[in-house]
Amino acid sequence: MLIRNYKKEDELGWLQCRVLAFLKTAYFDNVLNKKEVYEQPSIELVAEIDGKIVGLIDIEYEIKEGTVCSRGKGLGGMIWHIAVHPDYSRKGIGENLLKVAEKRAIELNLNRFEAWTRDDEWVQNWYKKMEFSQVESYYHIYLEGSEMTNRITTNVPNLFPVSTFSHYVGHDMEQFTNITRKHQCICYEKYLKTV
């Protein structure tokens, strides 16, 4: 396995790896048709086996505190994407990508990583195994059809919402008991250890 910097010609393999990796997660519908370009500097790595992109990690990082991460002190990096192709899972690819990214981050004088994920237990367990701590959460609420009744309205004539995606930062989840799709969105944070 080769871990190296992402190159523009990797885009299709990057997209395919991410889509397949996210397919069996709570982010299954978060499909991208092009790789993001970041406003701030970034660490963008891929794992390659026999010329195929089998893993990826993208971390946008701060050169001024508070410009990328949502919390913490000092300069941090936000893990926007980390994924391993399902045919290559459980081979340490994600862990190796993270280790290389941590080494680079320390060289850049970053002191922590932040990552947001949803309530997939196996993903949460991975972050905990990688020594991240849960520090914050809120909810992603998807409303469709009759679930929007008495919840979503519009003042725009002839506009009829069919579905909505919302952030809920309150604590009364009882009101969403009958909602089919809702996810806890969790922030994990890891302080980097300098050697």
Tell me: pLDDT of 187 over 90: yes
Which pLDDT belongs to residue 117? 96
| Res. 33 pLDDT band, cuts 50 70 90 | very high
Q: Is the CB of residue 24 less than 8 Å from the CB of residue 86?
A: yes
pLDDT score at 195 = 59
The domain over range 2-136 is classified in CATH as 3.40.190.10: no
pTM: 0.93
pLDDT digits (tens, 9 = 90+) for 128-176: 999 999 999 999 999 999 999 888 989 999 998 999 999 999 999 999 9
How many residues are there in the chain?
195
Q: Are 46 and 4 in contact (CB under 8 A)?
A: yes
Of 92, 91, 11, nearest to 46 by C-alpha is 11
CA R_g for the chain: 18
List, for residues 70-120, the tens digit of each pLDDT value. Answer: 888 899 999 999 999 999 999 999 999 999 999 999 999 999 999 999 999
DSSP letter for 91, please.
S
Distances in whole angstroms, Cα of residue 168 to Cα of each of 82, 105, 143: 25, 32, 12
What does the pLDDT read at residue 88? 97
Ranges of each domain in the chain: 2-136, 138-182
Query: What are the tokens at 11?
Result: 């885009």
Q: Are 58 and 97 in contact (CB under 8 A)?
A: no
Going by the DSSP 8-state scheme, the letter that residue 87 receives in this structure is G
Question: Hunting for tokens 């505190």 — which residue is that?
Answer: 65
H-assigned helices in the chain: 11-22, 93-107, 121-129
